[in-house]
Amino acid sequence: MTRKVGIIGVGNVGSQVAFSLCTQGICDSLVLIDKNAKKAQSEAFDLLDMMAYTHPVSITTQDYAALDDADVVILAAGPEMMAQEDRLSELDETLAILDDVLPKLLHTAFHGIFLVITNPCDVVTHFVQERTGWDKQRVFGTGTALDTARMKRMVGSTLNVSPSSVEGFVLGEHGDSQFVAWSTVHVAGKTVSGSVALDRDKVEQETRDAGWAILQGKGCTSFGIGTTAAMITKAILTNEQRIIPVSTFDAKKGVYIGLPALVGRYGATTYYPKLNDSEKARYDTSIAVIRQAIESKNNTKPKKLSP
């Protein structure tokens, strides 16, 4: 069976997702769509130039109809960020992108999984689901998966172990109200919260600020999020049933937010980790930030689009 993925928006992030999918042999067919048709075509040619040395992938550009039988469609379109902005500042421009993209997608026969990268990820995921009416399980975002990878890198570096040996999650908003759920962070079955070597406040701050530090130096973040999105896509296509902290729907709170979820062929199934009282309070704070952003736009934007 052909594994087909669509990417809407092939700027710095979308093109890196495409590169990761191709070099890792995750998909067999790609559909690249961008507001700049020449850019999409050039990215396709550049990827095709690798095919003598990588897994062969067929590539189509600028064709929404080609998404009819896609297994996964990834939204990576978004405005260019400035280093002094927070992710929520992108919301107005991003909602305009949804106004353009979603009606076109609703005119296709696409019935796969829709993965949101575009920031502010949790809020955008909410509006995608609300406007399309798609099942909440098949609409989710990359959420705090990248933030969790950053936390694991820092904890691993401090304790001199591989990041892959660090277990645990960053939860909440993919933004300034995110937090490390230290009660979930373990190495070799032992909690790291009492480690003398570990400055938890420093790890949290550097995890939160990592994206901005990269943005100031190179003007974008791409490798980390591109690889993260490819990993999530692989989990969907292979029905991996992998636990990943994505922006998934919290039915108890009524919003999308970074939580562990079981990711596979049918989308994301939310898991609720056991948090201590301090973590619960921080989670509720993050919920409030996301909810406020949603409510600030609900009075000005349509609730649901029609195909």
* Residue 119 labelled as part of a binding site: yes
Measured distance CA(98)–CA(131) in Å, rounded: 9
The mean pLDDT of 260-288, rounded to a whole number, is: 97
Which pLDDT band, with edges at 50, 70 and 90, does 215 fall under? confident
User: Quick one: 66 and 174 in the same domain?
Assistant: no
* Residue 12 labelled as part of a binding site: yes
CATH code, domain with 63: 3.40.50.720
* Residue 142 labelled as part of a binding site: no
Strands 179-187 and 190-191: antiparallel
**End residue of a domain, out of 101, 123, 141:** 141
174 is catalytic: yes
Among 55, 111, 174, 186, the active-site one is 174
* Residue 246 labelled as part of a binding site: no
Number of structural domains the chain divides into:
2
**End residue of a domain, out of 141, 156, 190:** 141
User: Quick one: 93 and 238 in the same domain?
Assistant: no
User: Quick one: 163 and 278 in the same domain?
Assistant: yes
* Digit-coded pLDDT (tens) for 292-307: 999 988 765 455 665 6
Q: What is the pTM of this model?
A: 0.94
Rg (CA), the chain: 19
70 inside domain: yes
135 inside domain: yes
Q: Around Cβ 66, how many Cβ atoms within 10 Å? A: 19
307 inside domain: no
Measured distance CA(23)–CA(227) in Å, rounded: 11
258 inside domain: yes
* Residue 118 labelled as part of a binding site: yes
User: Quick one: 106 and 176 in the same domain?
Assistant: no
Domain that holds residue 82: 4-141
Give me 125's structure tokens.
């995921």
Residue 163: cis peptide before it, omega within 30 degrees of 0: no
304 inside domain: no
Give me 250's structure tokens.
């919290």
Which pLDDT band, with edges at 50, 70 and 90, does 92 fall under? confident
